[in-house]
């Protein structure tokens, strides 16, 4: 209820703004979780308890960075490990392993989704706080999730493992029958994480940066045709495909965030005196508190790609996407906002800022993290633009 009540049409909730309707439910669930943690041990955790904690963690993460979310994500990670979800499919690593029965595959598919929800929460919570991940990606033996239709109909689908070897994971996913956009999103999310970690490394290899840049482009070029965001307009969204298409938009937005990290790291290395093909290590770490730069042309391609995806996103459906995605509209270092100042003319840049602002503002009606992102957007505008927008 803490998550779903914002979309409720019940008259009892009509006087409360959608983004605030879940507060009381979230507090009640928090009390229940606290009591259960006091009365039980994590090594005796149940899947039901884990899912409840995950939903609570998602709620608080969707409220913006806060201590409750960070604490709950940690609980979820430890509980997932205690349930051995991280090694769910380790027996399938062997190429000679026998196929699972439909019933066993269906059972595991539900557990896989629980694991990947924990991974997504850990990724987001760690990135926004610039802290190390809690989950060891080199020891994940879990297949990526397949389409809901396969799961609901108990129809096994081949998939791929996602671990620290992202290139191998990508090639395995590409050759599998898994065309679930959520699975591809998780792969792209790992690319973003790799770029984020690289940006924090004071001694980053230019060779590694170029390799990651090439891998990101290869993944983008290999996306299934049905994931294209340029072949049709917003009318392609239909009631039965909202979840599918929202994940498609999300993976395109996440791709641009991954690219921003790599481009920024490469620029730093060049400024430090390395050539793009140099195998040497560069020194430097990107600032995470910065003044808005004017006309940073290097971010322009990422902005254009982000806007192409956003233009296909109907207002009624973008609010039902994973709420964390609102941060990708600004991009790392607010790169997309910065790039609007590199438009061919000032009026074009202003329209681009309006589109970003209004999309974030629409999401903010339902999700508090949208309000936080909108605040960052406004605070980063040059004072002259902020004054003009306040008067209009």
Tokens 């770490």 correspond to 285
Residue 161 β-bridge partners: 143
**Which pair of structure tokens corresponds to residue 24?**
């009381």
Which residue in this structure is represented by tokens 């609007």?
Answer: 340
d(CA 28, CA 79): 21
Q: Cα angle at 261 between 160 and 263, to 5 degrees?
A: 115
How many C-beta atoms lie closer than 10 Å to residue 250's C-beta? 22
User: Phi/psi of residue 357, each to 5°?
Assistant: -60, -45
Whether 325 and 306 have beta carbons less than 8 Å apart is answered as no
Check residue 240 and give its pLDDT: 64
Q: Which residues, in sequence order, are bridge partners of residue 103?
A: none
| Predicted pLDDT of residue 162 | 96
pLDDT at 42: 58
CB neighbourhood size of 18 (10 A): 17
Question: Which residues does 253 contact at the CB level (< 8 Å), separation at least 6?
Answer: 306, 309, 310, 325, 328, 329
Helix pair angle (242-271, 206-221), 10° resolution = 150
Show the 3-state SS of the chain. CCCHHHHCCCHHHCCCCHHHCCHHHHHHHHHHHHHHHHHCCHHHCCHHHHHHHHHHHHHHHCCCCCHHHHHHHHHHHHHHHHCCHHHCCHHHCCCCCCCCCHHHHHHHHHHHHHHHHHHHHHHHHHHHHCCCCCCCHHHCCCECCCCHHHHHCCCCCCCCECCCCHHHHHHHHHHCCCCCHHHHHHHHHHHHHHHHHHHHCCEEEHHHHHHHHHHHHHHHHCCCHHHCCCCCCHHHCCHHHHHHHHHHHHHHHHHHHHHHHHHHHHHHHHHCCCCCCCCCEEECCCCCCCCCCCCCHHHHHHHHHHHHHHHCCCHHHHCCCCHHHHHHHHCHHHHHHHHHHHCCCHHHHHHHHHHHHHHHHHHHCCCHHHHHHHHHHHHHCCHHHHHHHHHC
CA distance 372 to 274: 37
Determine contact, residues 212/198, Cβ cutoff 8 Å.
yes
Residue 38 CB coordination number (10 Å): 7
Structure tokens at 44: 């005796």
Q: How high is the mean pLDDT in each 10-residue block of the chain (392 residues)? A: 89 90 91 85 79 96 90 95 96 85 97 98 93 93 96 96 95 96 98 93 84 96 84 53 91 96 72 49 40 66 95 92 95 93 89 97 96 94 54 38
Its pTM stands at 0.89
Pairing status of strand 203-205 against strand 281-283: antiparallel
């Amino acid at each position: 209820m803490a998550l779903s009540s914002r979309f409720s049409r019940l008259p009892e909730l009509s006087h409360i703004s959608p983004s605030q309707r879940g507060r009381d439910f979230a507090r009640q669930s928090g009390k229940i979780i606290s009591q259960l943690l006091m009365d039980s041990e994590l090594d005796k955790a149940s899947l039901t308890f884990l899912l409840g904690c995950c939903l609570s963690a998602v709620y608080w993460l969707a409220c913006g960075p806060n201590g409750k979310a960070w604490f709950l994500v940690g609980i979820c990670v430890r509980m997932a490990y205690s349930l051995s979800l991280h090694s769910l499919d380790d027996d399938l690593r062997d190429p000679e392993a026998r196929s699972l029965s439909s019933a066993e595959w269906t059972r595991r598919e539900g557990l896989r989704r629980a694991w990947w929800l924990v991974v997504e929460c850990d990724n987001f919570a760690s990135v926004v706080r610039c802290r190390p991940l809690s989950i060891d990606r080199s020891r994940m033996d879990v297949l990526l999730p397949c389409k809901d239709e396969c799961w609901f109909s108990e129809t096994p689908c081949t998939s791929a493992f996602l671990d620290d070897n992202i290139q191998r994971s990508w090639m395995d996913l590409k050759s599998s029958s898994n065309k679930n956009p959520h699975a591809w999103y998780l792969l792209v999310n790992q690319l973003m994480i790799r770029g984020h970690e690289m940006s924090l490394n004071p001694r980053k290899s230019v060779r590694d940066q170029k390799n990651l840049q090439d891998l990101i482009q290869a993944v983008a070029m290999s996306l299934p045709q049905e994931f294209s965001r340029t072949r049709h307009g917003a009318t392609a969204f239909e009631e039965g495909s909202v979840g599918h298409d929202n994940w498609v938009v999300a993976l395109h937005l996440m791709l641009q965030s991954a690219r921003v990290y790599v481009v920024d790291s490469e620029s730093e290395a060049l400024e430090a005196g390395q050539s793009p093909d140099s195998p040497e290590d560069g020194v430097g770490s990107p600032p995470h508190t910065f003044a808005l730069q004017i006309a940073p042309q290097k971010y322009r391609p990422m902005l254009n790609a982000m806007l192409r995806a956003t233009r296909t996103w109907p207002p009624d459906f973008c609010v039902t996407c994973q709420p964390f995605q609102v941060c990708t509209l600004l991009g790392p270092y607010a790169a997309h906002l910065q790039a609007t100042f590199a438009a061919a003319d000032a009026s074009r840049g202003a329209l681009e800022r309006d589109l970003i602002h209004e999309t974030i503002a629409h999401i903010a009606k339902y999700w508090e993290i949208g309000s936080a992102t909108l605040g960052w957007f406004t605070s980063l505008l040059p004072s002259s633009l902020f004054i003009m927008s306040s008067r209009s």
